[in-house]
Chains A and B, each alone.
Chain A
């Protein structure tokens, strides 16, 4: 586990809800399309932790959700954003799809600024 200082994200409640939705979508996608592997499972566990943190923050009923993540969790979110961008990119163009792509790109860039040396994910085996 990295000893780097944690990262802090300030999100509106709406952004926090969207982040939860992205994590849920990614977990479904990953289970459906990626064979079990140590790397896949580690990513899933990290995102599960992030989701728990976000939901816990939302329970506190504050206007601004202050999310604190480890480097590993931030990297996991960056990988998640990349995969979701690719996934949504293959869908037919629509207002909603385009808005989601913009939002995901913003999220990915925001995280990238926090962790400039982020690790890239290896290609994972896909289900038939």
Chain B
């Protein structure tokens, strides 16, 4: 691409401004840094960044692509909400070389990549609204924000995602709840307990499978809902091994928050998770990822 083409493409991005959130302040709980003024209760540290990078690779292998909606190859503007390290926009820019991809997340220290001609990274809190004009993007993607969006906020978040999507454009959500295929009794018990802990914090993760219905109720068209099992454990080969590592790291990430909340010694939690992980291998368990994607209606 020539320098002029790069400049032109830069100028084609509408005027969007950086918004620094107040969520730069972190709190140390169980040796992990968490955001102080945000309902988001996963850590924001190097260990979590590494988990997110592994998760990105594992998910691609498990579900087969970085995105699931049947979008056209010539789309121009893509938004990734809750971009974390920014690896999704970077990999998508290779699949869609003509597109410009905006990745947003709560704090700039999450970003592993700098903004360039293909990708722009911004600090933004989806719970406070998106700093973009209406009908800006051809494809809006949001993945695994189950720990960042309180249950009562989901309809508002979906409304905001739709607002910034152009008519005919696609919106895609990918989430996990507490559904595990071939779950054993300890897995069921642990996930139920985690759901109870999350509910006390305002996150009803057992409601995640209904997200597709929220898209339908919000007026999206041709909504597809897919419940995708992904193997947990080495029984599922390399992919299963990666996902098991990812989920165990995620369980470790919430350990401090949940154990403090439940007054449970961390050793007890760790022993429980160890039993659960053994169950996954014995029973050949699979975590269900809930995907839902649909089109914003064309204007009449």
Contact = CB atoms under 8 A, between A and B. Distances in A.
B216 interface: no
Interface in B190-226: 222, 224, 226
A8 interface: no
Contacts of A75: none
B229 A55 contact: no
Nearest to A32: B229
B288 to A, nearest CB: 10
Interface string B263-300: 00000000000000000000010100000000000100
Nearest to A45: B65
Chain A, interface SS category: helix
B68 interface: yes
Contact of A48 (B70, B228, B284): B70
B71 interface: yes
Tell me the interface secondary structure of chain B in the complex.
Answer: mixed
A1 B102 CA distance: 30
Interface string B169-195: 000000000000010000000000000
B113 to A, nearest CB: 24
Interface string A62-84: 00000000000000000000000
A36 B226 CA distance: 16
A123 to B, nearest CB: 15
A40 interface: yes
A27 B65 contact: no
Nearest to B295: A55
Interface string B67-90: 010111100000000000000000
B237 interface: yes
A24 B227 CA distance: 12
Contact of A52 (B62, B72, B231, B236): B72
B61 interface: yes
A53 B74 CA distance: 11
Nearest to B224: A24
A35 B233 CA distance: 12
B64 A28 contact: no
B147 interface: no
A21 to B, nearest CB: 11
B70 A36 contact: no
Given A44-B64, A48-B65, A128-B182, A31 B72 contact: no
Nearest to A47: B70
B126 interface: no
Interface string B2-44: 0000000000000000000000000000000000000000000
A36 B237 contact: yes
Contacts of A40: 64
Interface of B: 61-65, 68, 70-73, 168, 182, 222, 224, 226, 228-231, 236-237, 239, 284, 286, 298
Interface of A: 24, 27-28, 31-32, 35-36, 40-41, 44-45, 48-49, 51-53, 55-56, 59, 127-128
